[in-house]
């Protein structure tokens, strides 16, 4: 093998390796919770979710008196969920109005905003006791929805059947990160109490568990940004896009070097 041919092979290989590395993702960028150690820590940042205007609540009443149960069963024309909400899986329920109130059979207006579902359940149960001694009340959110977009496998809006969801569980529902996800800068967009918040979480650091935003709230939007390497992976492979320009340059360079060697 002559020197010219050997030099051409070496330069071509180096160019190929450099191009491939431009669109690759480093192993460290794909690891979550890199600094986790064996430990046990108390959970002290779980929020008490409070009802706010425009929330939709399921209020179920049980009693030996059939009239009580029937009165709380919403008919189709009484539903407060719009067609868009039903498309997202939100069921029929009682909507909290702009003043924070709901209107119930027998008891009339009840102020719900600012209360937890436990507070509201106890209040409704107390008010119903004047009419039905054996009434039992259950209250839960129907619009606990979180939306995951960006670099996740299944971006979508998800309806949560309970009142506790953390960011890792939400990412699991969406099929985890894609290989091009920026795991150290996951943005949470939250609207509560007439305020819009933007917060970034680092899922590669255990400080995530101490964040007040580790647990999500209804209607949170989770946006996962892409790594810079994503730009080389979109609209075709980086190598295939630029090889028509770079490889002729490599050939020319090897030809010139070959002449100089001679």
Q: pLDDT-derived band of residue 46, with 50, 70 and 90 as boundaries?
A: confident
- CA 147-217-103 angle, to 5 degrees, is 105
Give me the pLDDT at residue 231, please. 64
Comparing 147 with 40, the larger pLDDT belongs to 147
pLDDT of 194 reads 77
Strands 145-150 and 136-141: unpaired
Instruction: Tell me how far apart the alpha carbons of residues 153 and 176 are, in angstroms, rounded to a whole number.
Output: 6
Between β-strands 56-62 and 136-141, what pairing exists: parallel, antiparallel or unpaired?
A: antiparallel
Average pLDDT, the chain: 77
Residue 177 has pLDDT above 80, yes or no: yes
Model pTM? Answer: 0.65
DSSP-based three-state secondary structure for 207: helix
Domains in the chain, CATH or no CATH each: 3-24+238-261 (no CATH), 28-47+144-228 (3.10.560.10), 56-141 (3.30.1950.10)
Beta bridge partners of 191: 196
pLDDT at 135: 84
CB atoms < 10 A from the CB of 222, how many? Answer: 23
Q: What is the pLDDT of residue 244?
A: 59
């Amino acid at each position: 093998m002559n020197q010219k041919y050997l030099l051409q092979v070496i330069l071509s290989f180096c160019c190929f390796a450099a191009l491939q590395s431009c669109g690759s993702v480093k192993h460290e960028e794909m690891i979550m919770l890199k600094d986790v150690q064996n430990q046990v820590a108390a959970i002290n940042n779980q929020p008490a979710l409070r009802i706010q205007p425009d929330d939709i609540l399921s209020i179920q009443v049980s009693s030996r008196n059939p009239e009580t149960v029937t009165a709380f069963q919403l008919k189709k024309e009484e539903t407060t969920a719009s067609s868009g909400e039903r498309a997202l899986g939100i069921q029929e329920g009682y909507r909290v109005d702009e003043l924070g109130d709901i209107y119930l059979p027998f008891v009339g207006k009840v102020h719900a905003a600012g209360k937890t579902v436990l507070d509201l359940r106890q209040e409704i149960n107390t008010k119903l006791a004047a009419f039905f001694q054996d009434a039992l009340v259950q209250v839960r959110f129907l619009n606990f929805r979180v939306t995951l977009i960006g670099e996740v496998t299944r971006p979508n809006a998800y309806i949560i059947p309970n009142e506790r969801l953390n960011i890792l569980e939400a990412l699991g529902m969406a099929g985890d990160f894609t290989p091009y996800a920026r795991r150290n800068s996951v943005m949470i967009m939250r609207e509560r109490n007439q305020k819009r918040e933007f917060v970034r979480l680092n899922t590669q650091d255990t400080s995530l568990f101490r964040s007040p935003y580790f647990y999500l709230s209804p209607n949170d939007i989770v946006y996962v940004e892409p790594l810079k390497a994503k730009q080389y992976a979109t609209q075709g492979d980086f190598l295939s896009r630029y090889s028509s320009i770079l490889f002729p340059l490599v050939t020319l360079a090897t030809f010139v070097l070959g002449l100089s060697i001679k």
